[in-house]
Amino acid sequence: LLENLEQPNGLSLQNVDCGGSDRRSVLHVEHRPRQRNRQFHRTTWMTSPKDSWPRFSRPGISMTLLQTKDGVHYFTFEHNRDYQQIQFKFLDAVESMDPNNIVALLQLNPYHIDSLLQLSDVCRIQEDQEMAQDLIERALYSFECAFHPLFSLTSGTSRLDYLRPENRAFYLTLYKHMMFLEKRGCPRTALEYCKLILSLDPDSDPLCMLLLIDFLTLRSREYQSLLQLYQDWEEHRNLSQLPNFSFSTALCYFHLSQQEDMDPEESEKLRRKADQLLQDALIMFPGVLMPLLDLCTVQPDSTVSSHAFFGPKSQIGQLPALAELITLYVGRTYNLWREAAVMLWLEDSVKEVLRRVDAKDPIVEDCQNKRKQRYQSAPRNIHRHVLLSEIKGATSSLPLEVTTQPVMSFDPLPPLDSVISYTRPQRQRVGAWVHG
pLDDT at 12 over 90: no
Q: What pLDDT score does 210 carry?
A: 98
Name the band, by pLDDT with cuts 50, 70 and 90, for residue 405: confident
Q: What pLDDT score does 435 carry?
A: 40
- The residue count for the chain: 436
Any residues with CB less than 8 A from the CB of 392 and at least 6 apart, and which? 331
Q: What pLDDT score does 275 carry?
A: 98
Residue 341 belongs to a domain: yes
* Rounded distance between C-alpha atoms, residue 282 and residue 348, angstroms: 12
Residue 414 belongs to a domain: no
Q: Are residues 231 and 146 in the same domain?
A: no
Q: What is the DSSP letter of 1?
A: -
Give pLDDT tens digits for 72-127.
Answer: 999 999 999 999 999 999 999 999 999 999 999 999 999 999 999 999 999 999 99
Q: Are residues 222 and 110 in the same domain?
A: no
Residue range 397-403: mean pLDDT, rounded:
91
Residue range 339-358: mean pLDDT, rounded:
97
Q: Are residues 35 and 128 in the same domain?
A: yes
Q: Are residues 143 and 228 in the same domain?
A: no
Residue range 187-210: mean pLDDT, rounded:
97
* Rounded distance between C-alpha atoms, residue 367 and residue 288, angstroms: 14
Q: Are residues 349 and 248 in the same domain?
A: yes
Q: Are residues 133 and 240 in the same domain?
A: no
Residue 261 belongs to a domain: yes
Query: Which residue among 109, 128, 150 closes a domain?
Result: 150
pLDDT at 200 over 60: yes
pLDDT at 172 over 80: yes
Query: Which residue among 113, 131, 150 closes a domain?
Result: 150
Residue range 329-349: mean pLDDT, rounded:
97
What is the strand order of the sheet 72-79 is part of? Answer: 61-69, 72-79, 158-160
* Rounded distance between C-alpha atoms, residue 188 and residue 169, angstroms: 23
Residue 37 belongs to a domain: yes
Residue range 361-386: mean pLDDT, rounded:
94
Q: Are residues 255 and 114 in the same domain?
A: no
How many of the other CB atoms lie within 10 Å of CB of 366? 12
Residue 186 belongs to a domain: no
**Residue 40 C-alpha from the chain's centroid:** 29
Q: Are residues 146 and 213 in the same domain?
A: no
| Residue 217 domain boundaries | 207-403
pLDDT at 34 over 70: no
Residue 378 belongs to a domain: yes
Give pLDDT tens digits for 202-236.
Answer: 999 999 999 999 999 999 999 999 999 999 999 99
Residue range 281-295: mean pLDDT, rounded:
97
Q: Are residues 141 and 272 in the same domain?
A: no
What rounded mean pLDDT belongs to the chain? 88
30 closest CA partner among 3, 53, 57: 53
- Whether the CB-CB separation of 215 and 248 falls below 8 Å is answered with yes
239 closest CA partner among 251, 252, 224, 227: 227
Name the band, by pLDDT with cuts 50, 70 and 90, for residue 428: low
Residue 227 belongs to a domain: yes
Domains identified in the chain, total number: 2
Q: What pLDDT score does 426 carry?
A: 79
pLDDT at 42 over 90: no
Name the band, by pLDDT with cuts 50, 70 and 90, for residue 427: low
Q: What pLDDT score does 424 carry?
A: 87
Query: Which residue among 150, 169, 191 closes a domain?
Result: 150
Across the strands, what pairs with 74? 67, 159
pLDDT at 32 over 70: no
Q: Are residues 369 and 248 in the same domain?
A: yes
- Whether the CB-CB separation of 89 and 105 falls below 8 Å is answered with yes
- Whether the CB-CB separation of 286 and 309 falls below 8 Å is answered with yes
Which of 134-148, 195-209, 392-406 is predicted least confidently? 392-406
- Whether the CB-CB separation of 139 and 54 falls below 8 Å is answered with no
Name the band, by pLDDT with cuts 50, 70 and 90, for residue 44: confident
Q: Are residues 24 and 115 in the same domain?
A: yes
Give pLDDT tens digits for 228-259.
Answer: 999 999 999 999 999 999 999 999 999 999 99
Residue 174 belongs to a domain: no
* Rounded distance between C-alpha atoms, residue 24 and residue 14, angstroms: 12
Q: Are residues 214 and 132 in the same domain?
A: no
Higher pLDDT, 383 or 32: 383
